[in-house]
Amino acid sequence: MAATEEKKQREPLSSYSILFIIIFAVGIITVICSFVTPEISAASLPDILDSSVEGLIDAAEISFFLLILGGCLGIVTKIGALNAGITALVRTMKGHELLLIPIIMAIFAVLGSSYGFCEEAVPFYALLSMTMVAAGFDTMVASATVLLGSGVGCLGATVNPFANGVAIDMLRQSGVDVNTGTTIILGLVLLAASYAIAVFFVMRYAKKVKHDKGSTILSLQEQKAMDEAFGPAAHTAKKLEKAEDEGEELDPNAPMTGVQKVTIVLFGLAFLVMIVGFIPWQNFGVDLFALGGVFDPVSETWTTLPWSAWITGAPLGEWYFKDASVWFLLMSVIIGVVAHMSESKLVNTWIDGAADMVGVALVVGLARAIAILMESTHLDVVILDNASQLLQGSSAVVFAPVAYLIFLGLSFIITSSSALATISMPLMGSLATSLSFSPDVVVMLFVAANGLANLFSPTAAFLPGLMMAKVEYSTWLKWAVVPIAVIGVVSVVILTGAMMLL
């Protein structure tokens, strides 16, 4: 009893509380700094309070996507297709469940490295949580699989147009030449090293939890939430596993009805089309999805829509969360009709599913509020200017790690990798060139630091995913601090060595 009470006293702060604390802390910092640096505007109490609402407005597109996705998940769950499908998968992988981790992480890493699969990974936290819990793990394993998988991909980005592409373009506009081949090679080295480290830590923890449920890092409250949200599939899997152990003959496909099978196919198709829609194909020279369209560069609109734009008005490859919202809303209706749901049941089930995502959608806005407050007070620009002055006249051994730390800190303030590259690269690239350092390495210092920040920054895109998985932000930090630190140190060593050699 004493141990239980002690564990209850250690319940972590909610993500909401942590974000509000950070928002107020930033506001106080701007007030203090305004006395020393006139360029910084002191945030008033209304500014601090308004930033929360402004953040919600700014994040409306992704917030609505999460609500619509929740409605779709609610329908699929009500049909029982997810539970049945996951149970069949777990039974197929019986004895080899750990193999799911490196395989899934590799897929996410490739997507992250190619086009910055980060915010787009949020829907997979819920799906992987169901799968991992049914396989005998916990939701921390699911969260780490998604976050570290996609995260190391972004950290070791090779051709990500939103990070590498923008950074290289800004340097070239500043008159600094960049060797794209070198950045790709450095990205592959970072990707391989970070992936190996991430898989090691996730699989080590997964083995512990698989053999001893008491070794979970989740609090009692988180474990209860996990069981309530993802328990049905796990309980079904355990029953079937027990039946098999007792020698009963069970057909692996028996738990799934015809409707459930069709639902799984449609649900999988929904995610596949979403991923295809998010990948910027034209940046890679692939025009397949833009065929038949006429684009006006002056108005930056399609005067004649391409064939793939019939779903949302935007061709596959130019989707963002508004387009994904339209797609999942359509698929919600299609899946409900295929499952022979009545109109009232479909609507009520969809609303219940969306309601489960309200808390997740709110977190997105609160995280965005931090960046808005920093930007409106000019704290971000002042920090960049002062930080760059530290590197004047430094050696390669000093420049690389300090530049990495500067980019890491700025990534907390400027959440968009494209925006950060636009603001910082002309200054940092020119500084590196004046010191005769390789601008190729500067690009990857930016990419690697920004990618690492995406693994633990409270302003990053993963917070909604953690909430889906019923893992508090403070619990994630407690588990992830060591692997993140190791990945960060290894990245700095690799890039410092490259800076000295190139």
pLDDT (tens digit per residue) in 122-173:
888 988 998 899 888 999 999 999 999 999 999 999 878 778 888 888 888 8
- Predicted confidence (pLDDT) per residue in 75-110, tens digit: 988 888 777 777 777 777 777 889 999 999 998 999
| 298 has a pLDDT exceeding 90 | no
Length reported for the chain: 502
Count Cα neighbours of 41 within 13 Å in the Cβ-side half-sphere. 11
More confident residue, 314 or 246: 314
Percent of the residues in the chain that have a pLDDT greater than 70, as a whole number: 93
Nearest to 154 by CA among 128, 182, 201, 119: 119
Q: What is the mean pLDDT of residues 315-344?
A: 91
Q: Find the largest Cα–Cα distance for the chain.
A: 77
Question: What is the pLDDT at residue 250?
Answer: 44
Report which of 294, 315, 314 is spatially closest to residue 304, judged by C-alpha positions.
Answer: 294
Amino acid at 9: Q
| Arithmetic mean of pLDDT, 443-470 | 91
d(CA 354, CA 456) in angstroms, rounded, equals 27
The pLDDT of 296-315, averaged and rounded, is 86
pLDDT of 144 reads: 97
Comparing C-alpha atoms, which of 437, 448, 450 is closest to residue 499? 437
Confidence of residue 1 (pLDDT cuts 50, 70, 90): very low
The closest of 16, 8, 9, 145 to 472, measured between CA atoms, is 16
Paired strand residues for 302: 295
What's the confidence (pLDDT) of residue 140? 97
Which amino acid, one-letter code, is at 485? A
Task: With beta carbons less than 8 A apart as the criterion, state whether 56 and 390 touch.
Answer: no
Q: What global pTM score does this model have?
A: 0.78
Are the CB atoms for 399 and 497 separated by under 8 Å?
no
Quickly count: other Cβ atoms within 10 Å of residue 497's Cβ: 15
Which candidate, 140, 141, 131, 136, places its Cα nearest to that of 88?
131
Own/partner pairs, 434-439, CB within 8 angstroms, 24+ separation: 435/391, 435/393, 435/394, 435/399, 437/396, 437/399, 437/499, 438/182, 438/498, 438/499, 438/502, 439/171, 439/176, 439/177, 439/178
Closest by CA to 472, choosing from 8, 6, 11, is 11
**pLDDT at residue 366 in the model:** 83
* Rounded average pLDDT over 278-286: 79
Q: What pLDDT sits at residue 242?
A: 52
Coil/strand/helix, residue 162: helix
Tell me how far apart the alpha carbons of residues 377 and 360 are, in angstroms, rounded to a whole number.
27
Q: Give the per-residue pLDDT at 236.
A: 54
- Token pair listed for 293: 């369209």
Q: Look at 45 and 418; give whichever has higher pLDDT.
A: 45
Single-letter amino acid code for the residue at 6: E
Give me the numbers of helices (H) and strands (E) for the chain, helices first please. Answer: 21, 2
pLDDT at 156: 94
Burial class (CB in 10 A: 0-12, 13-18, 19+), 373: buried
Q: What is the DSSP letter of 218?
A: S
